[in-house]
Structure 1
Amino acid sequence: MFHHARRPHGPRPATARRRRAATGLTALAALALAGCSLAGGGGDDGGADPSAAGGGVVRVVTHDSFSLSEDLITAFEADSGYTLEFSAPGDGGALVNQLILTKDSPLGDVAFGVDNSFASRAIDAEVFEPYAPADLPDSAEQYLADDAGSLTPIDVGDVCLNVDHTWFTEHGIAEPATLEDLLAPEYEGLTVVPNPATSSPGLAFLLATVGAFGEDGWVDYWADLSANGLKVVQGWSDAYSVDFSGSTGAGAYPIVLSYSTSPAFEVAEGADSAPTGALLDTCFRQVEYAGVLAGAENPEGARAFIDFLLTEAVQADIPGQMYVYPVDERVELPESWTTFAPLAPEPFEVAPEDIAANRDAWIQTWTDTVIG
């Protein structure tokens, strides 16, 4: 989920995800800027004490939209003695699938990017071992995935439809505002979304329609949307960065599934308006988690990395890097977010237990209805 150096959900591409060796003066300067130790204090499950662990490699498995500032990564490595190695098997949905398929021989030590639409699948498959960070912010407790502490909430964001203001102005067509609007003839062939079977934002949007129309209406909605020229692609990056007309891809579709924060990225420096906008009446709230992988070779390092993600410096970095909200509500947000990146006042909701019980059946029904 990104563009040039940044993308709305995970603004920086994965090209720099190589093994980084800690270096002295740069790391120390970054630590001074951060104003605190980035190694974290550890939790109540053995803690993440790097001095006891003796360093080593920490393998981080994430989605292809993960991004943090390089100086923070370097500072963590210098402060903790760990060296981070990153791998990204794909979108959030692909990440969960890979974690489950490889749980007997895990791809890494810690995973970031499992979201609330897929969390129960990973938990039920026993992909993670419990870990309770000592410094979990009070504002994060509402997002805990289970009572066992299998996953730690790191960030939140609203998955919403976005529109290209310029396209609609040039074509003299009023912009849609609601899910129902997309079914009107004037919006035929204008919408692109990622597949919920392979994309976590895609699944979040499917859940938004379940929340909006209920068990009796969501299937009919998708049948009608499909009949109105809907385009479906594998992942968020294809939809936003290739097919959407309002971003760098300059595609043919002026309506795309993305995030409420995406328009803030598209604002030109010094501009007082955004060329795109999020439809806040179409949203589903997404929570992203990190967890220690069961069978990890370096569980101490995995815990240290989770503690690192909860530090003030990293939480403050998340909005500018991944264009989602930090889970710590005490963190000051960029000024532009008030205008260009608001959270939806009333996102659609589906109870976690209903997602767990019905997700696979809903995805199959969606596939039968839309893909055939």
Structure 2
Amino acid sequence: MRRRTLVRGVGAGTGAALTGLAGCLTRDAEEEEPDDGVEEPDENALRIATYTSMVTGERPAGRWLEEAFLEDHPNAELDWRVPEAGIEHFIRRGEIGAEPGADVYLGLTLGELVRVDEALGDDGELFESLERGRLDRDGRLRDDLTVDDPDDRVLPFDTGYISLVYDERDLENGPPDSFDALLESEYERALLAQDPRSSDPGLAFLLWTIAATGEDGYREYWQALRDNGLRLGESWTETYRNRYLEGEGSMIVSYSTDRVGAAAAERPLARHRVAMLEDAGYRNTEFAAVFADTPRAELAYEFLDFLLSSTAQAEIATRNVQFPAVADASVDLEPSFADRAREPERTVTMTYDDIRGNLGDWLSEWETLWTGESDG
């Protein structure tokens, strides 16, 4: 059959229709005009919700995943859905009891899972508990990526480490090596980061500062960051492409694998040095989840199992510039990946139990501090 790639932009409102973009992958799917004439996919189409860079750009992982998956499933079709509001779109639909309009979420983070649970409560079943027996490759997963989700709803498919990326030509004395050093005057207005309300790495950085300074200390720490000229972007893409690459800052909160992507894009590696604060990086894992009551459960599980194959893991790592989620050595990464990607000596991360019940308050307190607004 003739395959066609569907990328559907999803509106931000709770009642927004899942209108689409058909025919090709676009660079910024959510910014394109929706094509209201695109019909809903048939029963053989797996609807995958994800983020923009998974399906756009020069070498998106989604394009490769689609072509490879359909080689073994020639009668199927993948229908990519890119919600403007990310996970918030599906939270809003869950709040009004609407059908999510997707079968799989690809790119969920632990923080987003907690946001789902805090918003919808124990009765809001947005994602189903995984039937692990339907996944032949589940046993390949790294033990350190096991999640303490009480309902066992997520499957890791790649992981990375939040760190600082810096331009060695701009920092005369080198990068900071600790959270305290980051506040020194020589780094005034040097750091770019992402808004934790709208960005996964931005939220990971906030959680990292809470882990490092404590619940009683992170507010004071963020005030000091702000006083030292920290600037925020809405997303990683906007902060990196539109600000860091344009020379607005000498450092950016990003990933310890950035040199892999920079080399592939033929960008100067001197501008993509990696610095670990306290010799550590904050582990930020991406997960896949199956929406509850999907009518395409069989195809959804076949896709999740395919994500853990050696070939898929190698391509995801290379194209998403992250580390594989499986433990065995059969993932054949290019030698340049190992040469340029850095793993920290220590890994910091928060568990589901650490975050659940706290995330909403942390974000609210952070917003009050950052915007200078209060409820009083």
Q: How does 1:343-358 map to 2 (within 5 A)?
A: 343-358=343-358
The one of 72, 86, 91 aligned to 1:100? 91
Secondary structure of the structure 2 residue equivalent to 1:289: strand
Counterpart residue number, 2:69: 76
Secondary structure of the structure 2 residue equivalent to 1:119: helix
Consecutive unaligned residues of structure 1, counting only runs of 5 or more, are 1-12, 19-53
Distance in 2, Cα, partners of 1:72 & 1:180:
42
Report the residue type matching 1:252 in the other structure. E
Report the residue type matching 2:50 in the other structure. T
Counterpart residue number, 1:314: 312
The one of 255, 263, 267 aligned to 2:263? 267
Report the residue type matching 1:189 in the other structure. R
- Please report the TM-score for the alignment, with normalisation by the length of structure 2: 0.77
In the superposition, relative to structure 1, how do residues 105 and 271 fare at CA in structure 2: closer, same or farther (>3 Å)? closer
Report the residue type matching 2:68 in the other structure. A
Distance in 1, Cα, partners of 2:252 & 2:185:
17
CA displacement at 1:316 relative to structure 2:
1.0
Distance in 1, Cα, partners of 2:231 & 2:175:
18
Q: How does 1:6-45 map to 2 (within 5 A)?
A: 15=26
Distance in 2, Cα, partners of 1:269 & 1:359:
36
Residues 28, 52 of structure 2: 8 Å contact kept: no
Residues 259, 269 of structure 2: 8 Å contact kept: no
Counterpart residue number, 1:196: 196
In the superposition, relative to structure 1, how do residues 183 and 122 fare at CA in structure 2: closer, same or farther (>3 Å)? same
Consecutive unaligned residues of structure 2, counting only runs of 5 or more, are 1-23, 30-41, 55-59
Secondary structure of the structure 2 residue equivalent to 1:167: coil
In the superposition, relative to structure 1, how do residues 317 and 194 fare at CA in structure 2: closer, same or farther (>3 Å)? same
CA displacement at 1:351 relative to structure 2:
3.5
Counterpart residue number, 1:335: 335
CA offsets, 1:77-126, max 9 Å, x none?
Answer: 23212100112225xxx422122112322131111111122223335542
In the superposition, relative to structure 1, how do residues 291 and 270 fare at CA in structure 2: closer, same or farther (>3 Å)? closer
Distance in 2, Cα, partners of 1:297 & 1:358:
34
Distance in 2, Cα, partners of 1:304 & 1:231:
42
CA offsets, 1:215-242, max 9 Å, x none?
Answer: 2211111000001111112111111111
Distance in 2, Cα, partners of 1:309 & 1:142:
18
Counterpart residue number, 2:181: 181
Secondary structure of the structure 2 residue equivalent to 1:137: helix
Q: How does 1:1-372 map to 2 (within 5 A)?
A: 15=26, 56-66=44-54, 67-68=60-61, 70-80=63-73, 81-90=75-84, 94-103=85-94, 104-123=98-117, 125-131=124-130, 132=132, 133-145=135-147, 146-168=149-171, 172-244=172-244, 249-267=245-263, 274-281=270-277, 283-330=281-328, 331-372=331-372
In the superposition, relative to structure 1, how do residues 72 and 16 fare at CA in structure 2: closer, same or farther (>3 Å)? farther
CA displacement at 1:137 relative to structure 2:
3.4
CA offsets, 1:160-194, max 9 Å, x none?
Answer: 121112333xxx45322222222111111111111
Distance in 2, Cα, partners of 1:174 & 1:205:
21
Residues 156, 287 of structure 1: 8 Å contact kept: yes
Distance in 2, Cα, partners of 1:134 & 1:236:
34
Secondary structure of the structure 1 residue equivalent to 2:178: coil
- Please report the TM-score for the alignment, with normalisation by the length of structure 1: 0.77
Secondary structure of the structure 1 residue equivalent to 2:344: coil
CA offsets, 1:271-290, max 9 Å, x none?
Answer: 99653112222621011110
Relative contact order (alpha carbons < 8 A, sep ≥ 6): 1 or 2 greater? 1
Greater displacement, 114-123 / 322-331: 114-123
Report the residue type matching 2:145 in the other structure. Y
Q: Percent identity?
A: 28
CA displacement at 1:267 relative to structure 2:
2.8
Greater than 3 Å deviation, 4+ residue runs:
69-72, 137-142, 268-275
Residues 158, 323 of structure 2: 8 Å contact kept: yes
CA displacement at 1:256 relative to structure 2:
0.7
| Count of matched residue positions in the alignment of Structure 1 and Structure 2 | 315
